[in-house]
Every structure is written in C-alpha cells, then in structure tokens.
Amino acid sequence: MSDSDLEAFRAETRAWLEANCPPEMREPIRDEEDVYWGGRNATFKSEAQKAWFEAARDKGYTVPAWPKEYGGAGLSPAQAKVLREEMAAIGARPPLSSFGIWMLGPALLHFGTEGQKQRFLNEIARGEIRWCQGYSEPGSGSDLVSLQTFGEDKGDHWVVNGQKIWTSYADKADWIFCLVRTDKEDKYRGITFMLYDMASEGVSTKPILLISGNSPFCETFFDDVKVPKSYGEDVPAYVGEINRGWDVAKYLLGHEREMISGADGGNTGTIGAALARANGEIDPVLRAELAQFDVDTLAYGAMGEKFLDEIKVGKAHPAQPNMMKYAGTELNKRRHELMMAAGGSHALEWESDETSGGKLSRGWLRTKANSIEGGTSEVMLNVISKRILDLPGA
Amino acid sequence: MPLYFDDDQTMLADTAGQFMAEEGSIKNQLRHWRDRQCKDGFGHALWRQFAEMGFTGMLVDEDDGGLGMGQVEANIVLEEIGRNLTPSPFLSSSVLAATALKHGSNDVKGRWLPDLISGEKVYGVAIDEGRKHRPERIACKAEKSGNGFKLSGKKDFVVYGASSEMIVVAARTSGSDSDKDGVTLFAVPQDASGMSHDSVRLVDSSMASHVTFDGVELDGDAVIGEVDGGRQVLDAMLVAGRVGSAAEGVGVARGAMDMTVDYIKQRKQFGKIIGEFQALQHRAAHLYSEVEIARAVTVKAAQLVDGGSEKADLMASVAKAKVAKVAGLAVREGVQMHGGIGMTDEYDIGLYMKRDRALQEFLGDQYYHAGRVAEMSGY
C-alpha cells in the first residue's frame, strides 16, 4: 500500500471514529465497569458503551487485523497501526476487551482448523463468548509444564479432574481454554490444549481475594467434567494436536508477554508533569526520580515501537517478548510506586469517592502481580540468558 | 518509518562495522596511539580512510560535495566507532562542525567544507564554559570591531581542539550570559592570533583543550549563520551531537556487554563456567534488556532528527540520558564480571569504562538531560 493510500485510510479512519466513537468513550477508563468484556451475560454500563461496541463490531474493529471472514476488518499491519494511532489520538477506549482477542484468537489463527476459526473467532470478534485461560495450578506456577489436571480418555470424550488457579475472571467467563494432561508419561508431549464450556457439569469457581481488595482471579475446580473431543465437523475440542498442547501454550505465552509488557503502546506515557500538576509541590528528589522514570518510559516506548515493527517483518528475536515483558512490568511497578509517592496521603485512601474507591492504592497493589503473572521476571531473565545470550546451563 | 534499518542502512552498518573492527580496532588505533603518547589522540591515516569510505562528509549536502545522508546513517558509523573505541574526530568534525557549517553562507561552506569532506582537515567545536555542559549560558564575548569582531573569553572540553584546523565557537554578541538571543557562531581558524590551547589528555586517552581567546580578531565572514541568531544553529548542533554521542554510547555498551558475555562463557571457577551461575545470568540478561531499549530510543531520536520533528529535541535528551545510564551499567558490570583481570590494563574492558566516562560528560550527562526532559515536559 502506497503512502498516499495509507493517508487516505487515515483520513477515512479519523472520520469514522469521529462519527462512531461517542465522547464518553474517549474518557480514560476509571473502573472495571468501563471495560466491556462481552459474553453471554454481558451488560452495558451505558448507551455510549453499547453504541461504540456495536459500531466497532459491525466494522470489524473489535479485532481489526483479523481476516474479514472471521469477524475482523482484514487490515494490513500498516493500516492497523494507523487505526491504533488514530484511536490513541482521541483517547478512544477499546470497544471490546477479552482473553479471546488477546490470546485464544492468535492461537487459533496460528493452529486452528478452518471450522474452529469460523466458529470461535467469529464468536470472539462479536463479543458473544467470553473466554478464560486455565494454565497455572497450585503446584505449577513458574514450572507450568509440571501441571497435573488430568483428562482421562474415554473414547469420544475426556473426563477432566483437577484444579486451576489464577484463572482471570473465571467466575464471569463462558468458556475456558485449558491445559490438561492427557499423557502422564511424557512431560512436554503429554498436554492437550482443550476448549470447553464453563457451564459444563462439574466446573466450579471460587474468587480469590487479593491484597488490592479485588478478586479478578479465581480458583477453578474440575470434578469429573465431561469434555467431548469434537463440537462438530472440523471443530475439534482441542487446538493443535492431542498431547501437543505445550506448543500452543508456548506460542500463547509469547502473546501474553507482549500484552503484559504494554508493547501495544499502552502504559508508556510520562507521568512527571501530570503528577506535579495534580499534587502541587514536588520534593526535588522525587522530581529527579520522576525525571528518570520519564526518560525510561519514553525510551521503553521507542523499544515497543521498534519491537512491533520488527515483529511485522520477522526481524525480532523469537525470545524478545520475554525481554519486553520483563522491562515493561518492572517499569509499570515503578510507575505506580511514584504515583503513590507523589499522591501522598490522598493516594492512601481506600474507599473514598475522591479516589474512585481507592483506585490509586488498589492499582498500585495490583501492579505487583505484573512481574509474577505470565512468567515471573526471574523466569524472563532465565529465558533471556538461555535463548538470547546463549549462556550455559540455564 | 519502521525502527529497523532498511537495506542501504544495513549495508552501511556491515561496511562500517567491518572497517572499524579491522582498521579502527582497539589494538590498531586506541592502544597504538595511546602507547606512543600521540599529541593528536587519533591517527590521521585512519581519518583519511574515513574520507575514502565517504564517512567524513556523510552529513554534508550533496550540492556541497557531501553524501547528503542523515543522522540515522551518521549514527550507524558512530555505533561502530563506539563498539571498537575507535579514536577519531568524526563526532566533533563530521557531525557537530558539519551541522554548524550547513547553516553557513556559501562563502563559509566553500572555505571549510571541501577540506572536511576530503579528510585534509579536522574541525572542532567550542561550546562548554566551565566543568559542566551548560549551553544555555554563553559568556564568551565577541565585540564589534571595525568590519569584524574581537573574541574574548574561555572555552573548555574542546575535543581534539589543538589538532583542529578550525573551531566553531559559540560567543555572545549581545545581551547577558543567559539570554537565548545574542549568541553568534564563529569559524575560528587554527592560526588566529590571540587563541591559545591548553591541551590535556583525558581519562580515555583522547585530547581536549582549554581554549583562551584573548582579543582574537575575526573578519565578518567568520560568522556562521546570523549575527545574534546563533542559538538556532547551536541547537541544531546540540541535537545532532547528542543523538550522535548516544549512538556512540550504544556502541560502547554493546561492545562492553558482548565482551563480558563472552568472558563469562569461558571463565571457570568452582569447577564451573561462571556463566552458569544465575547471579551472573540475571544481571547479564537485565543488561541486555536495557541495552536493547537504549538502542531503540537512539534510533528513534535519529529518525526524528532526520524528519525535522519538533519532538527531536526532547527525544535527543531522552536518548542521551538513557544511553548514559545503560552504558554506565554495561561498563561497571563488565569490569565486575571480569573480576581481577578487569582491573588490568592488559584487558580491553577497562578501556570501555574510560571511554564511557568521557562520553557521558560530552554534551551533557544523564542528570543534565533527565532534568531537561522534566523541564521540557513542564515540571
């Protein structure tokens, strides 16, 4: 696509956003209800949220880079970048957020059958099914491949027993993509990447109360859950091959790390000026820390841009997402430490209206999980050592 | 524009990389001239090779006989210079002075550019006054005198000043020390009467001068750009020089990191390769991550300079500050992970530490630039 075509697309996109993104949807996200997740039981917080979601859905802009036949808009990487830039320019919220978009979708695009893509990708793009991810177990955190949840082969179905933990929004999800052991003899080649309905008999969830006072994560229990091997012609209930789910999981972890790292352009803004404005006098040593942070975050923003540019043309090192995840999450923790420091006693308020129910302090505590979930910083450093620096025995 | 090199840039990086690794290597250049206590601090033969490669005039417009390339290309050369610690006047002559001369009249260009491009002559820049980089304050004075000017004052940290056939000097022609306006740039020839160099060797074996101007008489045609309007030229020089020195710093960081990672893959203690120890692995991986980020922001800043973006000035300071932090980390970790031999002159890792120290200071250190980022952001 020529530059002039791209500029025409930019003008078109700008006009479309102007016409379809309501002003309320250009306000910063304040709380969980401002995020629209879709799903069977979804409700809209406002008419504006509904209008924005429906306009984006009909245009394919919930998943702009996915092919049109799967509910996307079929945008090229360059066009998708233009759309991201134009949305960022007006502060447009994502019309739909979901683990289906971020994680299952990319896995299906890569490993899925045509039948799976037709069904599941369209459901995700249209916000009809809300997915959750079943990876971690109480005994399998950083060492994920040791997972024990077992699916016993019963011919045309499995019977799944076990427990997952840190399942994000499992209590609100419709379906789960879940790593289940199907061969106890082979650690790496004994895991299947299964897809099944959370309404199945024997599935139960229990929210986990976190230090932030919120419960975005659950424990998820499977007691004799019957999972059929197929949902119809060309729609197997697993992604990739049986016993080869670890390949899919590794692929997806790459995506998760990119997402958490904020490589999509989120969380790279500077904070010094806004904190100084909001909080009045800033201690000179804190000002210096803020300046150092702003340097680091602007530099990381350039890294994110470079990383995405390189991914598009296959120039990025395959293990580079680990580095992005490490640097991005450590930076985000620092960001919130500084926001707390600048906010003083105001930032300590846990329930007040002025702080939207303790958004600052709860947000600060939430960020402590950034460098744990999706692979700890220590695991990221191990992977960089081994796969990029080629250090021995890691 | 994507933040990776296109085919031409990749080819330039390969060519420059090979050239510096062979001709500009630590053994052939830095150690060679240092051990002979060379008064120039660099080799003129190598500088002529720079000219043959087309590097000397790469930033000069094609109409003026140069290659008309941009900051991205100059940065590619500088990163290789940094990686090999190649002593050369490239940054001061071919980036800073060349950027100043871009703003000169045709007479000024005609007088100075041909010899810069051919490698016959080397030019320097005199910006700093005092121990720290504070270009907002210019006290060095040039008073009207007949058809020309009379220059008085002192400049410091004039890199390769005594070896420079011409020095671009920022001086005050009106107003008071901290005024934005009233600065004028002059091309002061080496033989100007009343100019004296106190040339000193720095920690990295490079040479720099304290320059004294004692009523130096200059013709009107020594002026580069507009009288009293030199701040604009100076700002362009500073942006180019800062982004350029960030690129050299990235090269220093990568050179030190690569050398260190190689070393910990070979050194054995307690019956093990020390690179197997997680304590070292995590530090090396953290360093890798920081170096990648420093490199990305430097490429970004160079692209903004070439695109004439209004964000170039901010990102130049971001790049300079980030690279300074990261290159400092790279050389400190380098010496520490080398252990005792890292302290010896025989090993090259210490040379990286020395070069980094000098480069940090050149055109503003990380504290200056982080402070500048805060100011430009409005706090």
For each of the domains in chain B, give its residue range(s) and CATH number, in order of start: 7-121 (1.10.540.10), 125-228 (2.40.110.10), 232-377 (1.20.140.10)
pLDDT digit of tens for each residue in chain B (379 aa)?
899 999 999 999 999 999 999 999 999 999 999 999 999 999 999 999 999 999 999 999 999 999 999 999 999 999 999 999 999 999 999 999 999 999 999 999 999 999 999 999 999 999 999 999 999 999 999 999 999 999 999 999 999 999 999 999 999 999 999 999 999 999 999 999 999 999 999 999 999 999 999 999 999 999 999 999 999 999 999 999 999 999 999 999 999 999 999 999 999 999 999 999 999 999 999 999 999 999 999 999 999 999 999 999 999 999 999 999 999 999 999 999 999 999 999 999 999 999 999 999 999 999 999 999 999 999 9
Contact between A309 and B297 using a beta-carbon 8 Å cutoff: no
Question: Helices (H) and strands (E) in chain A — how many of each?
Answer: 13, 8
Best mutation target, A282, A298, A322, A334, to test chain B (most B CBs within 10 A) = A298
Residues 6+ apart with CB under 8 A from A134: A149, A164, A167, A170, A176, A177, A178, A179, A220
**What pLDDT sits at residue A265?**
44
Distance between CA atoms of A186 and B150, rounded to whole angstroms?
85
Nearest CA in chain B to A289: B370
Residue B105 to residues B112, B121, B146, B222, B240, Cα–Cα distance (Å): 11, 19, 21, 10, 20
Domain ranges of chain A: 3-97, 131-243, 261-388
User: Which helix (H) or strand (E) is B258 found in, with range?
Assistant: helix B230-264
Distance, in angstroms, between A238 CA and closest chain B CA?
Answer: 35
Distance between CA atoms of A327 and A380, rounded to whole angstroms?
10
Distance between CA atoms of B133 and B126, rounded to whole angstroms?
11
Nearest CA in chain A to B326: A296
Is B9 exposed, middle or buried, given 0-12, 13-18 or 19+ CB atoms closer than 10 A?
middle
Distance between CA atoms of B10 and A305, rounded to whole angstroms?
19
pTM as predicted: 0.90
Q: What is the pLDDT of residues B52-99, one digit of tens each?
A: 999 999 999 999 999 999 999 999 999 999 999 999 999 999 999 999
Distance between CA atoms of B346 and B171, rounded to whole angstroms?
43
Look up residue B34 and give its two tokens: 């240092």
A309 in contact with chain B, both atoms CB, cutoff 8 A: yes
Residue B292 is nearest to which of A287, A291, A323, comparing CB atoms? A323
**What pLDDT sits at residue A267?**
56
**What pLDDT sits at residue A216?**
87
**What pLDDT sits at residue A269?**
84
Residue B321 is nearest to which of A275, A295, A380, comparing CB atoms? A295
If chain A, 394 residues long, is cut into consecutive pieces of 10 residues, what is the mean pLDDT of each piece? 87 96 91 90 95 97 96 93 92 94 94 98 98 95 94 97 96 97 96 98 96 92 98 97 95 72 59 91 94 97 92 89 94 96 95 90 94 93 96 82
Distance between CA atoms of B158 and B191, rounded to whole angstroms?
16
Instruction: Return residues 271-310 of B near A (CB < 8 Å).
Output: 273, 275-276, 278, 281-282, 284-286, 288-290, 292-294, 296-297, 299-301
A287 in contact with chain B, both atoms CB, cutoff 8 A: yes
Residue B285 is nearest to which of A299, A384, A392, comparing CB atoms? A384
**What pLDDT sits at residue A258?**
64
Is A163 exposed, middle or buried, given 0-12, 13-18 or 19+ CB atoms closer than 10 A?
middle
- H-helix segments, chain A: 3-20, 47-59, 77-90, 99, 105-111, 114-116, 122-125, 245-260, 272-279, 284-312, 320-343, 359-367, 377-383
3-state secondary structure of A178: strand
Out of 2.30.320, 3.40.600, 1.10.540, 1.10.287, the CATH code matching A3-97 is 1.10.540
Of A303, A360, A39, nearest to B289 (Cα)? A303
**What pLDDT sits at residue A4?**
86
Distance between CA atoms of B6 and B72, rounded to whole angstroms?
11
C-alpha dihedral sign at A115, A120, A123, A125: negative
Contact between A380 and B285 using a beta-carbon 8 Å cutoff: yes
Distance, in angstroms, between B168 CA and closest chain A CA?
Answer: 30
CATH class of the domain whose range is A261-388? mainly alpha
Contact between B296 and A288 using a beta-carbon 8 Å cutoff: no
Count Cβ–Cβ pairs < 8 Å, chain A vs chain B.
Answer: 138
Residues of chain A with C-beta less than 8 angstroms from the C-beta of B281: 381-382, 385, 389, 391, 394
CB distance B86 to B114 below 8 Å: no
Out of 2.40.110.10, 3.90.79.10, 1.10.132.20, 3.90.1150.10, the CATH code matching A131-243 is 2.40.110.10
B269 in contact with chain A, both atoms CB, cutoff 8 A: no
